[in-house]
Structure formats: C-alpha cells, structure tokens
Structure 1
Amino acid sequence: MACCEFPAVAEGCDGAFTVDSSRITFGRGCLAEVGERAAALGMRRVALFSDVDVAGLAVFAVARDSLLAAGLDVVGYTDVHVEPTDVSFADAARFAQEAQPDGYVSLGGGSVIDTCKAANLFASYPADLLTYVNAPIGEAKPIPGPLKPHIACPTTAGTGSEVTGIAIFDLLSLAAKTGIASHALRPTEALVDPDCTATLPAGVVAAAGLDVLSHALESYTARPYVHRPAPARPSLRPMSQGANPWSDLGCREALRVLGQNLETAVHDAADSAAREQMMWAATLAGIAFGNAGVHAPHGMAYAVAGLVRDFHPSGYPPGEPLVPHGMSVIVNAPAVFRFTAQVSPQRHLEAARLLGADADDADLDDAGEVLAAELIRIMRAVHIPNGLSGVGYTESDITALTEGAFPQQRLLQNAPREMTKPVLAELFRNALRYW
C-alpha cells in the first residue's frame, strides 16, 4: 500500500515513520565472512555466543575458524538457554563482564542472538535486569549509549532477531515472557547464510516458519503508523511504529514466499531451495516487524510459553517443558485475526491470498474467516498442535493466560482493535481448539 493509501494522520498522531535495520549480507556460504567482517568493525577480542547443540555442528567450526583466521582472540560462550530466562541472561552478562570482549558474534536461533544482545547491554551498562525491561513489567529506562559491535548469524529461519532491537526472555517470577526493546540492541551486522538451516528438524522448521508468518501478518495488520500518538521528540519514536509503507513491502513479499515454500521446507529437508527461500522470508519479515511491530498473537504467546507445564515438542532437545516461540504464537493467530478483520478486511483478505488461499471471490465480511481458515490449513499441514488444547491448556487456564498476556502492552497497543482483559479472555477461549 502506498503512502497516499494510508489513512490521514489522526489528531495528535505521528505523520512520519523511521526505517532501521542491521547491515545484512545474505547468501550461501557467507558465514565464512564473519572473521573479516569482525576485524573490519575493530574487534580484536570476540565473544562467540552459541548453544550447546549448535556448538557441535559444522557451522560453529566455520565461524570460529573464520574468526581465528582473521587473527582475532575468540572466547566462546555456549551455555545459552533455549528460551532464555532472567537467570540465563544474568549468567551470560557475568560471562561478558569477565571476558571483556570488544565485540560479539552470535551464532544460533533467536535465543542465542537475544542472549548475546543482553550480555552486550549489561556488560556495557551494568544495572538491575528490570532497568531496561519494557513497562509495565520493568522500568523501561533508555539504554545510556551505544553498545559494542555485534554480528548476528542466524541458524533458523524464523525469529528475525538478527535485524531487530528486541531481546525476549522468561521472567521466572511471573511465569511469563517479557523483553527489552531498544534501537541500541539491534545487531551491527547480520550474516544470513541459508546453509545454516540444512540440518534443522522438521518440527523446528515448522515452528520457526510460523513465527515468520506471524511477524509478517501481524505487522501488515497492525495499527497504522498515522494512528500512533506522536512522540514528545523524534528520538522517542518507538520501533513498534505500526503498519507503514516500508514494512508493508516486506510483509507482503514474506507472506508470498512463505506461502509457496513453508510446507516443502518442513517436509523435504533435501529441498535446499525451499529452505533458502524461508531464510529470505524470515529476513524480510524481520526487517518489517522491526519497524512496524507485532501485536496480539505475540502478546498472547508470551503467556502461552511462560505457563507451559508438560508439553514437549517434536524436533527439540528433550528436557524442560517447552512451547517453541513460533508455536506459541500461531496457536493464537486464527482466533485473533477473526477478531481484527473488521478493521481492515482488505488487508486480511490480501494476506490470505498471498499465503495461497483461493479468496478472489470472497466477501469482505468474510475476511477474518477466510484468513483463519488458511492459517488452520497451514497449521495442520505442518503438524502444529490443535490450538491451546494441543499444548496442554484447558478452559480453566483462561484467567491465568489472560493475566499473563495483559502486561504485554508494548505489543497489545499495536493491535488494530483494543485488547482489554475480557477481549483477551475470549480470544484465548476461541483459541483452545480449531478442528
């Protein structure tokens, strides 16, 4: 949608939007460039962040050897917790404070990249964890200054963390996710190498891919930027600006690419082209939501993941109960988009078409149902559980889920319709089962 097709600027709202992104290098084999790129950023002592599983893969050796070949001193941290917590963030920050690197490289999924962001932050500007955490859970104080250079190298096609200024974690005391959002957290560079996804299990590809879908779909249907209150000064313009002409470009293309490639990428690991396309969709959606913001499905997902009891997803390491991030988001999505469609039915229908739905003759009044049906079809095709009931929740959990989601105001206020507690409760209820 072009600028002139957006609504007029509402009274007291912002008539401008800002486009930010990390420097991006995309292509097979580009991970081997990390040493030269780190040296060019002035790094001499590099903290290489990863997790224990990625550390055992060939891609870790590629990154480490490239850094060493560039003459850099490398100190490794491979204790990243999958789905980070306040405790694991603190552990990583202590490592960074002791190691005193002058730059960071993260190699892994969103958990690794987010943990590296947090370590860089708290080693640079030590403070209580909640100092920089989003309100109302934390104090939301601004980061005092620039961080050390960080090159993010994703190994999953999903989170988009390599191009955003967001770091998400579980706050154990609340049994809910929250995060830190700041332009300062955005990695300096991103090396997006599709070869890094070659060995991912189908379940991980599915969950990560549905996170991509949610990033694009939520950003495309978010409150328009011209309906967001104007900041007191330009430097306070948030990253979650609402749907805007720039983010729309990335959202539409990400939805189209995902609609054509997700199922193949999940079911045929040998189809390297499909997985490369998924990596491209993830990059496009990451840039888009990094400038527009997501809304209710993600806000609700933080409670779904934080309150998990005994669910263990296919394709993930055994151990602690876990609802993977993309899965925790998509189980809410059909219910949410049935609710939000009345605000912008054209966008909801267009999104359904881009994903592959035959919606050319659909009535605008049916936009929410058409989009929800396409999402449910995709969920079933890639073997995602049947709504909240599929990951262990029942009607008796609705109140706790609602209480866990409502503090996510940074996300909920970006939704096109008001997300009160009664609305959230009804959305969770409608998300219990879809088929």
Structure 2
Amino acid sequence: MKEVIRSADPRIAALIARQATQYVDSDYLSLDRIAALLDKLGRPQDGLPPIIHVAGTNGKGSTCAFLRAALEAAGKRVHAFTSPHLVRYNERIRIAGQLIGDTKLAELMGMVVDANDEVGASLFEVNTAVAFLAFAETPADACILEVGLGGRLDATNLVEKPLVCGIASLGLDHQAFLGKTMVEVGAEKAGIAKRGVPLVTQLYPPAVADRIGAIAKSAKAIWEPRGLNWHASARRERLRYRDIHGELELPLPRLPGKHQALNAALAVAMLRHQSTIAIPHSALTAAMGWANWPARLQQLHNGPLFNMLPRGSELWVDGGHNPSAARLVADYARQHWNDGLPLVLLFASLASKDAAGTLRPFKGIAAEVLTVPIDGHECRSPQDLAHMAESMGLPARARSGLADSMTTLRKPARVLVFGSLYLAGELLALNGPLPD
C-alpha cells in the first residue's frame, strides 16, 4: 500500500522520489519484501534492545507514548518507531529519546534505498528498515515498535522475540486489507503473538476475544486479557489497576478522555507482565503526567490560525479518522463540553475512509460542520462531505481550507479539527506547536 510522505530536506525528498520508482505495487500484504530488504542490510532487527510491540486500530500510538513515558521516568533509554507522522518525517524515529536528525536520516535512508533496488519494498517497509538500522547502532534499554497496519503481515512483525506484545482497542479500518468484521480485524492484530511472549490485550466482545485467544494459543504466546488477568477502571479522578501482582492507584493521565485512561492501563499491564525491565510505581505515576501524544484531543492556545477565531473561542485537534475513534471523541464532547459554547466540527476525510460513519456520532453534538480538503492527498471533496453531513441533519458548509474555515466564523465557538491525521498535521504545521 503506497504511503504519501514529503520532506523539506532535499536529500530525503530525493530518496523518497527514488523509492517511488522502485516500489512494486500490490493489493495484498506480505512479509517477503521487508524480509529480503532486511537480509540485504545484515538483519538489523537481530541487534535491537528488548522490544515492546504494540498493535491496535485506535490507541496504539497513545499506548506507545505511555510506555515511553514510564520507561523514561524509570531512567531508561528508549527507542521508538511510530507512524504516521504529523508534520515531519523525523517524528517516526526516536533514538534514545531524541528524534532522528535529518543528516542521520538521509544517511540511513540512502543505505536502505540502495539495497531496495532489487526488492521494490514500500515506503513504510523502507521506513521500518531505516528505524531498525538506527536502533541497532545505538545502545538503549528498550525499543518500542508500533504496528503500521494490521499486525500479522506488518513490516514490524519481522522481530522474532519481543519482550512483550500488546493490542489496544479494535475497530473497523483498512477493511480491504484486514477484513470486514471485527473478528477478522482482531485476528490480524493478534498475528504479532510470539511463542513464550506475553500478549496483553484490552477487553473485546466475546467472539473477538475468543479468536485472539485461539491465535495466541496456536502461537504458544502467553495471553493476558483485560477482564481476566488484569483489570482497570477510571473512577473518581483515579486510574485503578489490578493484576496478580497487586493493586495500583494512579492519577488519571494528562491526555483527556476515558479511552486514554484505558490506553495508559494497557501500557501499565504490558510493563507489569514482563520481568526484564524493572519499572517502579513512581515511574508509572509520573508517566500519567509526562505522556504526550499530539493531535489526540489536543487544545491549542495560540498561533496564527487560532488568532483568526472570534475572541472567546477554543481550538482543538484530534487525528481520529474512523467511526470507533469518532464515538470516543463524541462521548468526550458530550460529557465535558456542556458549557453552552457551540461545537463546530472542522472535518475532512480521505477517500478510502468511512466518512459517513465518522460523522454520524456528532449528530446532536455539533452545531455546524465545516468541510475542507486534505492538501496533497486523495480525499473526499468538501462539497460531498457537506452534502453528507446535511443528509444526517448536521448543518454544514464547504470551505476551501483551514484558514478559510477559521475566518468564516463570526461568533465564539469550540472548533474541533477532526477526521484525518493528515489534516491534524496540516493544522499543526500552519499553527503550531510542532510535535517534538
């Protein structure tokens, strides 16, 4: 599956352009190309620090953020590979706590693209190989890998013996590749299970859980499901967690929403179901306040686009782009945004996404929908989205872009930019702050 990435650095831009000429497109996922590419590069995946592998439809990036925060609070050096990025490609690769620099990125990407001449790997596969090379040459205590798509056939799944694996919340997305039912999606995510390795999972419907459990058993993984082997709940401004090792009471995370509390709980469970890296209670507590994951119900307090809004307005951004994410954000809005300030949804959607399903949860919550394009990506037209919203009973207007949307408002509003991580990245690039 082709990925759209740009870079302001001319060296990296040229390598991305060269990779595009190498890529052998296909309508199926496979590990063959990434395996061949890594073999040509000397199998850097064999030289990584202890690996923490995270899959899921929604919440896997936030879970990675909580994992990194807890490990770093415990004084550990941590590599992290996440995707997609919001503004800069460098956001995907964090070497011992620091984003990869342009010079190092260009150097390693040049090596990988050279090796890719006869392989034809996708850009995500190239990205994965670059990350593995970077991580293998720099000592660290842990290496967090976020699955890009699915799990079973994701490029990150070439690692053979992770320390612990986890699966965050599930939903329907990328159905052409992952299946049209939640059971099929869950099965693809569970493909990261490895022999003798804990597979820590959230609470799912029985049919989905049964399928994940069966795959874990077949792989001889150690399945650790929430609701059976560990428990978590957010009550009275505290995160309460319990497993065989005992009970914890932690502050709720700084990232807003009940779903983030459960993402944090998954990170806690993953760390407590491995025994190689010691994480004290104080580090888990610190992680609740330290963890930062941009464009997840993030409020922006200043910046050029924010300043275009009427005085008294608020500006929020969330990169959710599927119905399950929309339901979580809509639930948060219903519970917390009830002060009378009208909610204006500034919405866009890639052509491949379920735009109607992503809009529908905001019916009765959003006072108006302003629809925009996503610059440089194949997306639904603002006019089509506005018509779709109106057919649901949501007042809507098509606008030409973010700035046009901000200036069209005449009264104070709570503006939520939603529907695409690419749109969220465009907002942060124009308004700030840049993710670091």
Output the TM-score relative to the length of structure 1.
0.30
Q: Which has the larger radius of gyration?
A: 2
- Structure with more strand by fraction: 2
- Structure with more helix by fraction: 1
